[in-house]
Chain A
Amino acid sequence: MTSQRHGSVRVLMLGWEYPPRYVGGLGKASQGIARGLADLGADVLFVLPRFRKAQGETRLQVSGAREWLLEHGATPRGERVPRWLGVTSRLQPYARPSERTARDVDAYGSGDAAALYGSDLGHEVASFAARVAAIADDAQADVVHAHDWMTFPAAMAAADRHGLPLFLHVHSTEYDRSGDGANPDIAAIERIACERADHVFAVSDYTRGLLLARYGIDPAKVSVVYNAPDEDALPPAPPSGSEIRQPWVVFLGRLTFQKGPDHFLRAAAEVARLDPAARYLICGTGDMLDALKRQAGELGIADRVEFRGFLAPGAVDRLLARSSLLVMPSVSEPFGLVALEALCAGTPVILSRQSGVREVLGHSLQVDFWDHEKLADQILAVLRLPVLARQLVEEGQAQLARLSWDESAQRIAEAYAHVAGVDLATLAGGGL
């Protein structure tokens, strides 16, 4: 299995988004993992369906599939596209086109917030698979590593064609995104791909549990690789004295069922009866926007809730740094990078117990998303007890400091070596 063709291990990594074009946590996490592996000495070719211009870093090349093929004078051969991918139904990677998030401003600029690759996602997934299979002919990869279901057909096509070990990275499952209203086509792709994979990385034990329970995946081949804070982010801000912070309670994320903004409002209504100063900021957009505005009215708190729409990354940091608290009441959250961003801004967080990030942030307030009464009590306490807020941030930041993409990449490299006999350390000549 071990390749002697190169001086170092070559990873063909498949993704759907990559900074600066990204919709959610996936793009940032993909970048962190790719960079971490490159730092460990792997040569990473990161391929997306389309990418405006190729990015090169040491050992890491990021490219669109079409752009790569053009550059290398190859043409896609689409004959190996799995039959069940012939679906042209309007699949969505995360959300419906209207669901613009805090982050899509960079990706689209124009404000056309359809998913990154248009509305015919099934076609995009299939043609990506065909192109990647062609790329794999020339890429001389040692392993294929793919991020989330949109890239899994491509990864399987490439791995099958060249007998390469297949590693899948699950950042989110269809059941997180849609609950019991899961799209059966997407769920099938996730299940079949995970069954086929040599090894699966889950971003949390929570997600690993979902894969085991929903798809019956063999527990022995699913391991947890946690996400880490953004390395480009500024060093953690000290927890500020409450006096310069506003009594703002922030929700930040897509306004969808998965993120639980309706639970946020219900808790806010409880808080509002006891703390008249608090204001509730909802940042992000999505298909629940109108319903949420109605709900705020029905709960009698319309005058205290602000719908801020989507915010550019810089604006997010500035807002968090002036706020008292971030609430992440997700119904199902595979990880929850937004919690790490808040802590970096010196802002305490309340985490849904139905989230992955709580596994690495024991020093946090945690609550079941449906327990509005307890959530309200936690919000009230953070607002009225600065000593509590400060300790949550200090201890949380200390836990954060122990997470890094290098550490996560190390876990991945161990799995490459253990599962596929591909050893980064040996081939890279002491890259560790």
Chain B
Amino acid sequence: MSLDVCFYFQVHQPWRLRPYPFRDVGRRHDYFDDEANARILRRVAEKCYLPMNALLLKLIARHRPHFRVSFSVTATALEQMAAFAPEVLVSFRRLLATGQVELLAETSHHSLAALYSPREFAAQVRHHRAVCRRLLGAPGRVFRNTELIVSDAVASQVAALGYSGLCLEGADRLFGTRNVAAPWRYAAALSLVALPRHYRLSDDIAFRFSDRQWAAWPLGVERYADWLQGEAAALPPEADGRGFLGLFMDYETFGEHQWADTGIFDFMRALPGELLKRGGFRFITPSQALARVPVGAATLSLPDPVSWADLERDTSAWDGNAIQRAALAEAFALEPFVRRHHARHAADAVRVVEDWRRLLTSDHAYYMSTKHWADGDVHQYFSPFESPYDACINYMNVLADLAQRVGAPAPRPA
């Protein structure tokens, strides 16, 4: 019994909006809070990106050639690194230069385009490749969609763009009793391999690690390695003695969501050695995982989108209420106007396209979520706004200005 451990870390930063009052519409086109974006990026760089990159570099050297990890980095994050903390790009390049690190493909702007506009989705995937190549290196053959949102329709689009693998939330409602510790294929696109996230073992690190109410606190590498061995021992017969363990999480887990004083860095420093010492574990990249999936592997069908967000594991964090749906609809409704504006080679064409795409970043819709709003939960933790309604007002003000710039009628959602 052995287990292929696949670490994939998500790196993303949105371009946060500045407070943009309606009276600025038609007068000012600077939408983004440069000061806050720079401050947050530098803080996260200091607390997470730089120390964790340095740690991974050491671990790769120490365990060469056995330790591997993978990243997906959004273009919005890369551009902010280039602008506010270029040393972070340097440290990522150093990691990639080891050959032990793989990049995943995704949309440039961490958008929901796969759900709203296949054309824009394809454009953003191309754009992401270009930005990655320019600043970091080329992504591989495996794709991760924003917030792991996957449906049959998304899988078809990803396959059509030539990718061979697509990461997926190992949600209970999708897998049920099926084996989440194995790669699958998508019924909607048989050429595409589904790499499921093992949400329990991933969230033990990403969410529960510092939770003092948790029975397993404090979590040490021995106990965690025991759990992984238990997972390997519990593989079903059809797994043929080999499992795939998708440990997918936000990179900001390390040092930002879980602060250094929780021991998260020490945990990660010790984990690869502990697993390699026990035997029966290999670290692999997503592309390596593709190789061992038989063509006739069992298939998954996803009529409705699955994501890695909230308990619902659906898209309701972004489109669960009326103001979110209206905002998304209005934003994507500008697409033909933005394209026409661009085609006219207007002086501000490049700027306009980039501004529009930054508004498509899913975080803006997330800030408008009213799920559990009265209880004040995780959505608010990440939001720069006092309430989802204030987030909505600010966003719609900006959208009204952008509509004017591209000659679209003012958004007036009914």
Contact = CB atoms under 8 A, between A and B. Distances in A.
A112 interface: no
B194 to A, nearest CB: 36
Interface in B376-409: 386-387, 389-390, 392-393, 396-397
A238 to B, nearest CB: 14
- Where chain A touches its partner, the secondary structure class is helix
Interface in B316-333: 321-323, 326
A175 B392 CA distance: 35
A384 B412 contact: yes
A325 to B, nearest CB: 13
B392 A388 contact: yes
A78 interface: no
B86 to A, nearest CB: 36
Contacts of A386: 413-414
A274 interface: yes
A388 B22 CA distance: 15
Contacts, number: 64
Contact of B393 (A362, A373, A388, A390): A388
B370 A380 contact: no
Contact of A387 (B326, B386, B390, B397): B326
Contacts of B321: 391
Contact of A365 (B389, B397, B412): B389
A392 interface: yes
A392 B370 CA distance: 11
B contacts with A: majority SS = helix
Given A363-B373, A363-B374, A366-B387, A380 B22 contact: yes
A385 interface: yes
Contacts of B374: 362-363, 399
The number of chain B residues touching the other chain, given as a range, is: 20 to 34
Contact of B323 (A362, A377, A388): A388
Contact of A366 (B22, B322, B386, B396): B386
Which of A273, A362, A380, A387 has the most C-beta atoms of chain B within 10 angstroms of its own C-beta? A387
Nearest to A399: B374
Contacts of A270: 23
Given A363-B374, A365-B390, A381-B393, A387 B23 contact: no
Interface string A310-325: 0000000000000000
A377 B392 CA distance: 12
Contacts of A3: none
Nearest to B412: A384
Listed residue (B22, B370, B386, B412) with the most chain A CB atoms within 10 angstroms of its CB: B22
Interface string B211-224: 00000000000000
Interface of A: 270, 273-274, 362-366, 373-374, 376-378, 380-381, 384-388, 390-392, 395, 399
11 contacts: A362-B373, A374-B21, A376-B21, A377-B21, A377-B23, A377-B397, A385-B323, A385-B326, A386-B413, A387-B322, A399-B374
Given A385-B392, A387-B413, A390-B322, 10 more contacts: A274-B22, A363-B370, A365-B393, A377-B21, A380-B22, A381-B22, A385-B412, A387-B414, A391-B321, A392-B389
